[in-house]
Amino acid sequence: MKVFKKPIFTGFAPNLTLTDLKLACVFLFLPWYWPKWRKGEYPAKVENKLKEYFGVEKAFVFDSGRSALYFALKSFNLKEGDEVLIQTFTCVVVVNAIKWAGLKPIYVDIGRDFNLDVEDLRKKNTTKSRVLIIQHTFGKPADLNKLISFAKDNNLLIIEDCAHSLGTKFNDQLLGTFGDIGMLSFGSDKVLSCVRGGALITNNKNLAAKIKELQNQLLDSTKLKTFQHLTHYPIFAATKPIYNWGVGKLMLALAKKLNLFNKIIYSKEKIGLPVNFYPAKFPNALASILYHKFIILDEVIKHQQKIAALYHESIVNSKIIKPEWTTESIWLRYTVLVTNPQKLLHLAKREGIILGNWYNSPIAPADVNLKKMDYQIGVCPHDEKIALRCLNLPTDININEQEVKRIIELLNKYA
Ligand SMILES: Cc1ncc(COP(=O)(O)O)c(C=O)c1O
């Protein structure tokens, strides 16, 4: 019976720790901390931490990865309609950042590793292409040798999208430091999370000066948004353990209906419309939570890699196609392919296990209006097929080996 089993999640604030919860409660419930929600020393402390961690000249924090990406593109001073090459297997907010910067997304197919397919990139590149966004999906480095030499040969600026890959190395060098700008996300499902936040890192002084100028013009995040980000912690901490009893699920649905916590993607974003609270400054309270999480970064990565290895060794069902094994990836999620992911998602739910669906559509999530994203079916056929088949398994710091065994058992039984 599901009610007697501990719920297992893939999303739903997977990296939430007791320290995060305590800090969020301090900011929420101690009135003398209220003036520090939005302003304080922590955004600058996070920037210094990022400079030190990546060994880069400059780091800039923002309210989200999507805002960071928007400013990275703005800093290039491109012409309206210039083209940005991106993989289609991505989140809608990436496409929005490009469009809102006045640029045109050009969709490139993916390879079996869920990263850019270099052959398709060659076909899609035109004389108007100016930027290549290299996404390291699920924590696996893209084929940087080929991609960087392609970008150099074609005078393309490079942004590395490291939303999934904080801490991943390629040839012993941290991802995010290979291109002109590296972009990071600290959203709720990421390697290190503070519910919402993002950053840019760069060694290019001219780009840094432009980004700084843009960052200085930003307004503070609203009080309501900061409140909704902070409440995320007590709400998820209270409802997750009792989710399988039904009451947790109900409480979470009610809190969502009452707008007590933030949404990851808003309906307007799914049809390409801007929301009025992005972009904004990174709130001090969230920066404080993030700053204190850096201590566990190495532990998080080792744990993710250990859990991924367990899946890899123990899933022995020919109906489940496993990703190619690599020690290079930090395995933010372990993504398998199945012919009918809906069936497996449903079977897992009956066992109290909620598996992940990144990305279940070319340009995710599935209810995105592809027309508004200027995506035409057939442009990236491999992605379209993969998106119908992929399913992610959790690797986060809160999942233990016993729980992993429950998932493996379920997958091995799948027929
Ligand atoms: C690949 C990728 N890039 C960028 C982003 C944007 O990050 P954020 O949610 O912090 O805006 C996401 C969001 O999930 C993402 O999946």
pLDDT at 86: 98
* Ligand 1 pocket mutation pick from 10, 66, 266, 368 by most atoms within 8 angstroms of CB: 66
Q: How far is the CA of 198 from the centre of ligand 1 (A)?
A: 9
Determine whether the shortest distance from the Cβ of 184 to ligand 1 is under 6 A. Answer: no
pLDDT at 213: 98
pLDDT at 397: 96
Ligand 1 atom closest to Cα of residue 198: 10
Listed residue (145, 152, 186) closest to 49, CA to CA: 186
Q: How far is the CA of 275 from the centre of ligand 1 (A)?
A: 16
Determine whether the shortest distance from the Cβ of 187 to ligand 1 is under 6 A. Answer: yes
Determine whether the shortest distance from the Cβ of 185 to ligand 1 is under 6 A. Answer: yes
Query: Mean pLDDT per 10-residue run, the chain (415 residues)?
Result: 84 93 98 98 98 98 98 98 98 98 98 97 98 98 98 98 98 98 97 97 98 98 96 95 90 93 94 94 98 97 98 97 97 97 95 95 96 97 97 97 97 94
Domains of the chain are: 2-29+222-274 (no CATH), 34-216 (3.40.640.10), 296-413 (3.90.1150.10)
Task: Report the residue count for the chain.
Answer: 415
What token pair was written down for 296? 């566990």
What token pair was written down for 111? 């390879």
pTM of the predicted model as reported, rounded to 2 decimal places: 0.97
Contact between 70 and 183 under an 8 Å Cβ cutoff? The reply is no
pLDDT at 169: 98
Residue given tokens 């929005």 in the structure block: 96
pLDDT at 3: 74
* 73/62 Cα distance (integer angstroms): 14
pLDDT at 265: 95
* 187/270 Cα distance (integer angstroms): 17
Residue 414: asked if its preceding bond is cis (omega within 30°), the reply is no
pLDDT at 304: 98
pLDDT at 246: 86
Ligand 1 atom closest to Cα of residue 186: 10
Listed residue (346, 316, 326, 321) closest to 413, CA to CA: 316
pLDDT at 5: 82
Neighbour count for residue 80 (Cβ, 10 Å): 8
* 170/6 Cα distance (integer angstroms): 37
Contact between 293 and 119 under an 8 Å Cβ cutoff? The reply is no
Kindly calculate the radius of gyration of the chain based on its CA atoms and give it in whole angstroms. Answer: 20
What token pair was written down for 128? 């108007």
| Atom 14 of ligand 1: nearest residue by CA position | 91
Q: How far is the CA of 104 from the centre of ligand 1 (A)?
A: 18
- HEC profile of the chain: CHHHCCCECCCCCCCCCHHHHHHHHHHHHCHHHHHHCCCCCHHHHHHHHHHHHHCCCEEEEECCHHHHHHHHHHCCCCCCCCEEEEECCCEHHHHHHHHHCCCEEEEECECCCCCECHHHHHHHCCCCEEEEEEECHHHCCCCHHHHHHHHHHCCCEEEEECCCCCCCEECCEECCCCCCEEEEECCCCCCCCCCCCEEEEECCHHHHHHHHHHHHCCCCCCHHHHHHHHHHHHHHHHHCCCHHHCHHHHHHHHHHHCCCCCCCCCHHHHCCCCCCCCCCCCCHHHHHHHHHHHHHHHHHHHHHHHHHHHHHHHCCCCCCECCCCCCCCCCCEEEEECCCHHHHHHHHHHCCECCECCCCCCCECCCCCCCCCCCCCCCCHHHHHHHCCEEEEECCCCCCHHHHHHHHHHHHHCC
Determine whether the shortest distance from the Cβ of 91 to ligand 1 is under 6 A. Answer: yes
| Atom 7 of ligand 1: nearest residue by CA position | 65
CA 186, 66, 97: angle at the middle one, nearest 5?
A: 165
* Ligand 1 pocket mutation pick from 185, 269, 333 by most atoms within 8 angstroms of CB: 185
Listed residue (406, 408, 344) closest to 7, CA to CA: 406
